[in-house]
């Protein structure tokens, strides 16, 4: 059974005003347990509204969100329990830090779940390990940390709730290249270790290409595709009209293939590309790669 | 949602009212508010209400939005209306124990309610059709004589512009932070007063931090563009009187003459 499913999910802003706009339009998708799903789409394609409905922050105007088969709005009073199971890391999450110390801030979520101080602290320390925050940082004020550290502390604050589904909205936005790599690697590691379900929203096709099992493509409020990453990125001609593009490495390898090199059609990461290109270089004889 | 608040929201448009000089609009707003409170009899009252409705019609802003702006003050209208009901003088119409209702009381309470409603509607016409920048421009221009008394009029206007500019930004920010804390299980909908106030801490602290961050960023941006206050500063858009302004001022002057005459000639509705 799918862990997270939506049925004809729709959200319309400002019903009855001149500003009425359907942000999410009849979306029916299913995400399996343990999957890593990338979510891509042009700005204004409805990604943010969609993910906020998945953990009950926004109530849909029509349709359902099913968490492990249960409609999350069946008992509106217990919506907080859904939020503990579907963890959400917003864009620029460091702006939500508020406690005196980093540790206390990470403990905020677990304590809201009703855990004791000891349990919450245990959870917080484990989450800090996952996000590679040094123990010495935990007693500092969150406002003393560097940008990347703040970001990781904020992500730890959500991971500490140990959610069944983790949704991250642009977790690497605004970080330097190294910070990006660190955050993404940690998310992948966390996913591999916990084997929970992850939804990653990103504008970086490269990040999606190297992390996601499947990709959800949003366009104009509709879910255009939810297919394995390789299938989605094999359809570059369909992505382009939606304001999306292929990962750079995928595009390069396609061009090489078009020039006649024997490489596969859809390559998703630099590592994969190396695996294909090195044998070709090793096999060369007269200083040039031979076209087929 | 917080962003549903319509009071003080600007709706861009090209109507006659939109094109009026903001100084004229500001003065006329005050003028009509004074008139509605000076109106002593039904004729002058109705005439002022008519002018207010005319303004609403000319503004081409959907009537629904005006009604929405009235919603938050509904309670005040009813409350003052009911209160005035019991403080009438003259012959009692109904007497129930210590409650006395007179003809004057009823008239008074209706008039007060109507006055507050008209007051809000008139100010809504101003805020719906005037952008915050235009409004502060007008205030700055109108207060300029005070500069002679060493009142920092320009700085005052600039502060107001900035404050108004950041209201929607901070509202949006508040919503974002609230969503983020709710996602971490913050409970803002239940509990007693103390719990609710405590639940605001996770929202207020990040909000203050971000407001200060924005203030520093803005100060840097202003300084890097060599902003140095009001002295010698010219305007890109100089306020200028046009035909619409003269026509509307003339109409309002004529209206004032008629208003004064009728207010004196026709006996007041509430007999003292």
Cα–Cα distances in angstroms (integers) from residue A239 to residues A28, A217, A246, B148, in the given order: 20, 9, 8, 64
> Rounded to the nearest 5°, which phi and psi values hold at B60?
60, 20
> Which of A11, A98, A142 best probes binding to B when mutated, by most B CB atoms within 10 angstroms?
A98
pLDDT in tens, A63-73: 999 999 999 99
- Across the interface, whether the CB atoms of B183 and A57 are under 8 A apart is answered yes
Where are the extended beta strands (E) located within A68-148? Answer: 70-71, 86-89
B13 touches chain A (CB under 8 A): no
Residue B4 CA to residue B12 CA, distance in Å, equals 17
Please give the residue of chain B at the shortest CA–CA distance from A58: B179
- Across the interface, whether the CB atoms of B184 and A97 are under 8 A apart is answered no
3-state SS class at B224: helix
> Rounded to the nearest 5°, which phi and psi values hold at B198?
-60, -35
Flag whether pLDDT at A263 surpasses 80.
Answer: yes
**Are the beta carbons of A220 and A46 closer than 8 angstroms?**
yes
Nearest Cβ partner of A98 from B64, B183, B202? B202
pLDDT in tens, A169-204: 999 988 888 888 889 999 999 999 999 999 999 999
End-to-end CA distance of chain A: 46
- Across the interface, whether the CB atoms of B176 and A90 are under 8 A apart is answered yes
B63 touches chain A (CB under 8 A): no
Nearest Cβ partner of A90 from B62, B180, B185? B180
Residue A107 CA to residue A111 CA, distance in Å, equals 6
Q: What average pLDDT does chain B have?
A: 87
What's residue B188's pLDDT?
Answer: 79
Residue A280: pLDDT band with limits 50, 70, 90: confident
Q: Residue range B13-21: average pLDDT?
A: 91
Please give the residue of chain B at the shortest CA–CA distance from A94: B206
Residue B117 CA to residue B119 CA, distance in Å, equals 5
Residue A156 CA to residue A130 CA, distance in Å, equals 8
What's residue B9's pLDDT?
Answer: 74
Flag whether pLDDT at B271 surpasses 80.
Answer: no
Chain A residues at the B interface, defined by Cβ less than 8 Å, are: 17-18, 52, 55, 57, 80, 83-84, 87-88, 90, 93, 95-98, 108-109, 112-113, 143, 157-158, 161
What's residue B123's pLDDT?
Answer: 92
**Are the beta carbons of B40 and B262 closer than 8 angstroms?**
no
A chain contacts of residue B182, beta-carbon cutoff 8 Å:
57, 83
Q: What average pLDDT does chain A have?
A: 90
pLDDT in tens, A87-144: 999 999 888 899 999 999 999 999 999 999 999 999 999 999 989 899 999 999 999 9
What's residue A124's pLDDT?
Answer: 94
What's residue B4's pLDDT?
Answer: 47
Nearest Cβ partner of A83 from B64, B182, B201? B182
Residue B8: pLDDT band with limits 50, 70, 90: low
Provide the 10 A C-beta neighbour count for residue A52.
21
pLDDT in tens, B114-166: 999 999 999 999 989 998 788 888 988 898 888 888 888 888 888 888 887 88
B chain contacts of residue A98, beta-carbon cutoff 8 Å:
201-202, 205-206, 209
Q: Residue range B225-244: average pLDDT?
A: 83
User: Among the listed ranges A4-8, B119-123, B219-223, B235-239, which one has the minimum average pLDDT value?
Assistant: B235-239
Cα–Cα distances in angstroms (integers) from residue A188 to residues A168, A180, A202, A216, A250, in the given order: 12, 12, 14, 18, 21
DSSP B224-265: HTT---STT---SS-----HHHHHHHHHHHHHHHHHHHHHHH
pLDDT in tens, B50-87: 999 999 999 998 898 899 888 888 898 999 888 888 87
Residue B6: pLDDT band with limits 50, 70, 90: very low
What's residue A288's pLDDT?
Answer: 56
CATH architecture of A4-246: 3-Layer(aba) Sandwich (3.40)
Residue B182 CA to residue B179 CA, distance in Å, equals 5
Q: Where are the domains of chain B?
A: 2-130+241-265, 152-224
What's residue A213's pLDDT?
Answer: 94
Residue A73 CA to residue A59 CA, distance in Å, equals 8
Q: Residue range A11-24: average pLDDT?
A: 82
Please give the residue of chain A at the shortest CA–CA distance from B175: A57
- Across the interface, whether the CB atoms of A98 and B201 are under 8 A apart is answered yes
- Across the interface, whether the CB atoms of B206 and A158 are under 8 A apart is answered no
Nearest Cβ partner of A108 from B64, B179, B184? B184
Q: Where are the domains of chain A?
A: 4-246, 247-284
Provide the 10 A C-beta neighbour count for residue A61.
15
């Amino acid at each position: 059974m799918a862990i997270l499913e939506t049925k004809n999910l729709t959200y319309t802003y400002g019903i009855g005003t001149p500003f009425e706009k359907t942000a999410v339009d009849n979306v029916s998708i299913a995400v399996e347990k343990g999957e890593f799903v990338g979510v891509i789409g042009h700005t204004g394609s409805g990604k943010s509204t969609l993910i906020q409905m998945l953990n009950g922050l926004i109530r849909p105007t029509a349709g359902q969100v099913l968490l492990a088969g249960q409609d999350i709005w069946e008992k509106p009073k217990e919506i907080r329990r859904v939020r503990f199971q579907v963890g959400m890391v917003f864009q620029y999450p460091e702006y939500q830090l508020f406690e005196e110390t980093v540790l206390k801030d990470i403990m905020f979520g677990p304590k809201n779940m009703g855990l004791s101080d000891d349990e919450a602290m245990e959870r917080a320390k484990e989450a800090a390990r996952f996000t590679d925050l040094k123990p010495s940082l935990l007693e500092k004020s969150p406002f003393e940390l560097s940008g990347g550290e703040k970001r990781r502390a904020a992500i730890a604050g959500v991971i500490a709730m140990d959610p069944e589904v983790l949704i991250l909205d642009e977790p690497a936005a605004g970080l330097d290249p190294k910070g990006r790599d660190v955050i993404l690697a940690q998310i992948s590691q966390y996913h591999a270790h916990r084997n929970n379900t992850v939804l990653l929203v990103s504008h970086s096709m490269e990040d999606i290409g190297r992390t996601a099992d499947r990709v959800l493509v949003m366009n104009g409020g509709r879910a255009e595709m939810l297919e394995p990453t390789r299938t989605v990125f094999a359809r570059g001609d369909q992505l382009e009209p939606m304001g999306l593009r292929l990962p750079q490495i995928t595009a390069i390898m396609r061009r090489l293939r078009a020039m006649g090199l024997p490489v596969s059609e859809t390559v998703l990461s630099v590592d994969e590309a190396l695996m294909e290109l090195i044998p070709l270089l090793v096999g060369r004889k007269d200083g040039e790669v031979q076209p087929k | 949602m917080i962003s549903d608040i319509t009071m003080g929201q600007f709706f861009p448009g090209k109507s006659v009212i939109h094109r009026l000089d903001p100084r004229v609009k500001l003065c006329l707003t005050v003028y009509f508010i004074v008139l509605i409170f000076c109106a002593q009899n039904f004729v002058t009252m109705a005439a002022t209400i008519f002018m207010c409705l005319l303004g609403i019609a000319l503004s081409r802003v959907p009537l629904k939005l005006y009604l929405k702006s009235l919603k938050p003050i509904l309670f005040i209208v009813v409350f003052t209306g009911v209160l005035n009901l019991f403080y009438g003088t003259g012959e009692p119409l109904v007497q129930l124990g210590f409650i006395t209702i007179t003809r004057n009381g009823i008239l008074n309470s209706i008039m007060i309610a109507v006055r507050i409603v008209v007051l809000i509607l008139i100010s809504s016409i101003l805020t719906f059709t005037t952008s915050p920048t235009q409004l502060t421009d007008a205030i700055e221009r109108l207060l300029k004589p005070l500069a002679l008394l060493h009142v920092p009029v320009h700085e005052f206007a600039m502060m107001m512009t900035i404050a108004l500019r950041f209201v929607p930004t901070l509202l949006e920010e508040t919503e974002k932070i609230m969503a983020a804390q709710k996602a971490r299980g913050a409970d803002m909908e239940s509990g007693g007063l103390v719990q609710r106030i405590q639940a605001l801490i996770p929202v207020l602290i990040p909000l203050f931090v971000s407001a200060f961050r924005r203030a520093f960023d803005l100060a840097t941006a202003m300084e890097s563009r060599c902003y140095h206050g009001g002295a010698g500063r010219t305007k890109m858009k100089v306020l200028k009187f046009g035909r619409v302004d003269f026509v509307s001022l003339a109409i309002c002057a004529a209206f004032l003459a008629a208003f004064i005459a009728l207010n004196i000639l026709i006996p007041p509705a509430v007999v003292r």
